[in-house]
């Protein structure tokens, strides 16, 4: 058995393993660390964008609370027992 016959399966299995690692959590962590170390300006830009997204999320939460309060009020009004006007028997 020659060296080439051994290297081909080893190379194949290593390639498959690297693909699985790069698609998994370890690969995502490595990609994240590469992106984080790529430049300081990008990090500041991301922090500003994150702050803006948090403010938008707070606004959406407030709007949702107001909508839920209005819905509760409407449900209470509809739940009140109202007796419809009935015609007298006769």
Model confidence pLDDT, tens digit, residues 36-50: 776 666 778 888 899
Cα-to-chain-centroid distance, residue 75: 32
Domain extents in the chain: 1-38, 40-78
Higher pLDDT: 30 or 56? It is 56
Q: What is the spatial distance between Cα 90 and Cα 87, in angstroms, rounded to a whole number?
A: 9
Q: How far apart are CA 25 and CA 73, in angstroms?
A: 47
pLDDT-based confidence at residue 8 (cuts at 50, 70, 90): confident
* pLDDT higher than 90, residue 23: no
Q: Using the predicted structure, report yes or no on whether residue 61 has a pLDDT greater than 70.
A: yes
């Amino acid at each position: 058995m020659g060296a080439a016959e051994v290297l081909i399966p080893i190379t194949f299995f290593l390639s498959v393993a690297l693909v699985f690692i790069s698609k998994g959590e370890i690969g995502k962590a490595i990609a994240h660390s590469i992106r984080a170390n790529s430049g300081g300006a990008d990090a500041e830009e991301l922090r500003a964008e994150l702050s803006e997204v948090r403010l938008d999320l707070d606004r959406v939460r407030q709007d949702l609370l107001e909508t839920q309060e209005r819905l509760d009020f409407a449900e209470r009004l509809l739940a009140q027992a109202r007796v419809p006007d009935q015609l007298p028997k006769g």
